[in-house]
Amino acid sequence: MITQLLNKEKAISITGLGYVGLPLALEFAKKFKVIGFDINEERVELMKQGIDPSKELEASAFAKCDIQFTSNIEDLQDAHFHIIAVPTDIDAHKVPNLKPLESSSKAIGSILKKGDFVIYESTVYPGCTEEDCIPILEHQSGLKANSDFHYGYSPERIVPGEKVRTLTKILKIVSGSSPEALEVISSVYGNIIEAGIYEASSVKVAEAAKVIENTQRDINISLMNELAVIFDKIGIDTNEVIEAAGSKWNFHKYRPGLVGGHCIGVDPYYLMHKAKQIGHDPQVIAAGRRVNDYIPNFIAKKVVTSLIELGKNPGACKVLVMGITFKEDVSDIRNSKVADLINELKDFSLDVDVVDANASKEEVLHEYGIELKDKSTGPYDALVIAVGHKEYRVLRLEDLNALSKDPLLLFDIKGILDLGDLPNYWKL
């Protein structure tokens, strides 16, 4: 297989060309013949023009790539090594939404041939590939896993906004349905991953490894968030406490913050779902999620009580929220907890303006019904720096005063500014 792929007698297909699938497809396309498949025709049209619809990659990333973009599954007939990187989100009840995985498995099953490989990259719970996806491939293709075709799981570990540790520079976990399959999968990925390959002992181990990376992070941040709530009531600075505690070698310096996005705030629900399925009611993971989801409400209450302490009527106050993406220096707004914070503020009858030059106005309106302002039209009763974008990190006191009524009331959620001893300044 690897020789045929390298000789371009066979092609690699990548299904789901989003934040994960497109960079992966382009990286493979530097050495292999690649067919990129996505059901979203608009996105496919943009990619054909060398435009990344997720706005992460420059046009230069498309150069010297042997890649064909398509929304027609029939175009994948020439592909024999299939990678699936479709979204794995949760529904309104926080239950895993496997529909994209199921429909993409059905599509790949329809063009699957003897000897083919299918590798899943989407984040799932342990067991999902073999219990939920492979039966669909078998049913749709009429082929038998392991005897007719091979499969594997290789989680993606890229971090949104991370410019140094990019796809090829992150150790890649791979797993396979048999030792022979694993050998092929390792060698295919080994051709593009500079950081090396980690061969997991089974598909379930690889699935579990990915989901606990993000679950551990969620829980660690939730502990800091809970501590931030406690220390706020005590009246001490959480970051000062973390710095002091961090002077011990085995203290891990996690920071409090809003936990949003499509990974850390979502993946724990996949693990919880599996745990419940097999008769275990998870306590720690669930508590972590609850604490992190409570933080927008905690911050909104803080804004309101601070306004009241200044003798203001919140219902007559105007607040500026700066930043709505789920983390700093990215354009991704999926599962942004700033949107929750804005809604909480509005529930308290505050008039809220929101700015974020990193985010798309259309996407924010479509996703949250929130209208982004091009420019802030102050003066405001309170300023909330919700995301640590680089343009906010350089704000000076005079910039903030220009936006604010007197006195300045500043909520610097991530504590990105160092403005000395400022009255009416709050950070998480």
Residues within the interface to ligand NAD (CB under 6 A): 15-21, 37-40, 43, 54, 85-88, 100, 103-104, 121-123, 156, 158, 160, 262-263
CB of 3 to ligand NAD, least distance (A): 28
Measured in whole angstroms, the distance separating CA 342 from the mean position of its chain's CA atoms is 20
CB of 33 to ligand NAD, least distance (A): 19
CB of 87 to ligand NAD, least distance (A): 4
Please list, in sequence order, all residues whose beta carbon lies within 8 angstroms of the beta carbon of residue 164, skipping any fewer than 6 positions away: none
The active-site residue, picked from 65, 128, 133, 263, is 263
- 155 preceded by a cis bond (ω within 30 of 0): no
What's the token pair of residue 214?
Answer: 């993000």
Name which of 38 and 207 has its Cβ closer to ligand NAD. Answer: 38
Name which of 99 and 252 has its Cβ closer to ligand NAD. Answer: 99
Name which of 15 and 292 has its Cβ closer to ligand NAD. Answer: 15
Cα separations (Å) of 339 from 68, 172, 342, 343, 413?
A: 37, 33, 5, 6, 14
CB of 21 to ligand NAD, least distance (A): 6
CB of 162 to ligand NAD, least distance (A): 9
Name which of 20 and 83 has its Cβ closer to ligand NAD. Answer: 20
Residue 324 near residue 341, CB atoms below 8 Å:
no
Number of CB atoms found within 10 A of residue 173's CB: 21
The residue whose Cβ lies closest to ligand NAD is: 18
CB of 242 to ligand NAD, least distance (A): 26
Name which of 85 and 258 has its Cβ closer to ligand NAD. Answer: 85
What's the token pair of residue 20?
Answer: 């994960």
Amino acid at 9: E
Cα separations (Å) of 129 from 104, 177, 422?
A: 12, 10, 53
Residue 150 near residue 117, CB atoms below 8 Å:
yes
Name which of 153 and 231 has its Cβ closer to ligand NAD. Answer: 153
Distance separating alpha carbons of residues 387 and 161, to the nearest angstrom: 13
Q: What is the DSSP string of 227-290?
A: HHHHHHHHT--HHHHHHHHTTSTT----------TTTTTTHHHHHHHHHHHTT---SHHHHHHH
Let me know if 263 is a catalytic residue. Answer: yes
Cα atoms in the 13 Å half-sphere on the side-chain side of 84: 30
- 23 preceded by a cis bond (ω within 30 of 0): no
| Residues marked as catalytic | 263
